[in-house]
Copies of this chain bind each other. A is one copy, B any other.
Amino acid sequence: MQTFAQILKKNVLLLSQKITEVYRNMIKNQVTIKKIASELGVSISTVSRALKHNPRIGLKTREKVWEVAERLNYIPNPAALFLQNNKTFTIGIIVPFLQEEFFSQVVTGIEDIIFEEGFHPIISQSRDKMSREKKAVESFLKMRVDGVLVSVSAETNNYNHFKELEKYGIPVVFFDRVPRNFPANKVKSRITDGAVEAIRFLSQRNKRKIALLNGPSNLEASDERLNGYLEGVRKYQLTTSPQLIKATNLSKEDTTRKMMEFLEQGETPDAIVTFNDYVALYAMRACKERGVLPNKDIQFVSFANLPITALMENGPLASVEQFPMEIGVQSARLLLKCIHDTSENIDYEEVIIKTELIIH
C-alpha cells in the first residue's frame, strides 16, 4: 500500500512529465503558417498572403490571421525563405584581430548599417594568418553568406580565396587593409594625407631625421604611408635614406627587432612615424629597454588613434584618426549596394575616408 506522500509524489512526477511533454511538443511543433491556417480553417496560402498584407485577401480575414499569428507568437522560419530566395541575410566579416579597437569599432559601424536591413554579421578573425583567412572564406561559402567584408591579414599575398567568393556571386568589399594590385571594392583611409600631416607636425617640432616604421608591403596602406612620408619629406625639405625606412609584419617581436635596428645603426632617427598605435607602443617599449626616452629622444607619431591611447600617459605624441566607425558604415553600405545590385555590373568602387591628425 502506498502512503499519501508516495501517491502525491507519483502524481507530481506524472504531472511534470506531462508538462515537459507538452513543452517539448510546443518546441518541436513550432508555429507555422500551416498551424495558423488550420486554427482559422483557411488555407495556407491565404495566411501567407494575409501576413504580407496582400490586398487580395479580405480585410477581415487579414485581421483575423494577424490576430492569431500574434497570439501564437508566429515567427517565420528563415530557412524556408533561404531555400526559396537563395538568400541567408548573413554577412561574413573577416578582421585580423577583434581585440584591436580599430577593428572592433569598424565592426560596430558595420553592425549599425546591416541591422537596419535585416542582415546579420558573422565575424571571423584571421589573427593575421592567411590560412585562417582562407578557412573563414571557406566557411562563408558553406554558410552561403550574402556578402563578405574583409580586412586582409598581414600575411595575405594572394587573393584566390576571394576570387572564389566572386565566382559564386558573393560580393566582397575590402576595408582598411585592402590588397594591392587587385581590382576590387575598397574602402580605405586617406592615408597619404595623414602621413604628410604627421611629417608636418614633426618638422614643426624641429625634427629633421624622421623615420618610417611601416607595415607589410602586401598592403596598399603601407604604400600610401610611404608615399605620404616621401611627399612630406620633400615638402618640408627634410632628408631621408633607405636606413630610415623599415617595415614590420606588425608582430611585437618583429617590431621590436626593427626598432632595435634603428637604434643600433649609424643613422638614428629623432622621430618615427609608425604604421599604427600598436607598432608605436611596441617600438617605444623597445626604446625604453635601450635607455632611449620615447617622445623625448625620439618622438613618435602613429596611425589609428585608438581610444585606449587617450587613457595612456605613454602613448604617441599624435596619431592619425581614421574614423573606423565611418569605415564600417561605408563598407557596409557599399556591400549592401552590391548585394542589391542584380545587374551584371561588375564595376568596382573605391571609397576614401578622410583622416585627421590628432595631437595628444
Contact = CB atoms under 8 A, between A and B. Distances in A.
A168 interface: yes
A325 to B, nearest CB: 11
B122 A121 contact: yes
A111 B124 contact: yes
* Chief secondary structure at chain A's binding surface: helix
Given A99-B105, A121-B123, A124-B111, A83 B80 contact: yes
A257 B142 CA distance: 50
A285 interface: yes
Contacts of A24: 344
Contacts of A17: 344
A101 B311 CA distance: 14
Contacts of A243: none
Interface residues of A, number: 51
A212 to B, nearest CB: 21
Given A312-B312, A313-B314, A344-B24, A78 B120 contact: no
Interface centre among A97, A107, A120, A121 (most CB of B within 10 A): A120
A313 B313 contact: yes
Contacts of A107: 98, 123
B122 A122 contact: yes
Interface of A: 17, 20, 23-24, 27-28, 30, 75-80, 82-83, 86, 88, 90, 97-99, 101, 104-105, 107-108, 111, 115, 120-125, 139, 141-144, 168-169, 281-282, 285, 307-308, 311-314, 344
Pairs of residues from A and B, 8 with the lowest C-beta to C-beta distance, nearest first? A79-B82, A27-B169, A20-B344, A98-B104, A313-B314, A79-B83, A99-B104, A281-B311
12 contacts: A24-B344, A30-B86, A75-B141, A78-B82, A79-B79, A79-B82, A99-B105, A281-B311, A285-B311, A308-B308, A312-B312, A313-B314
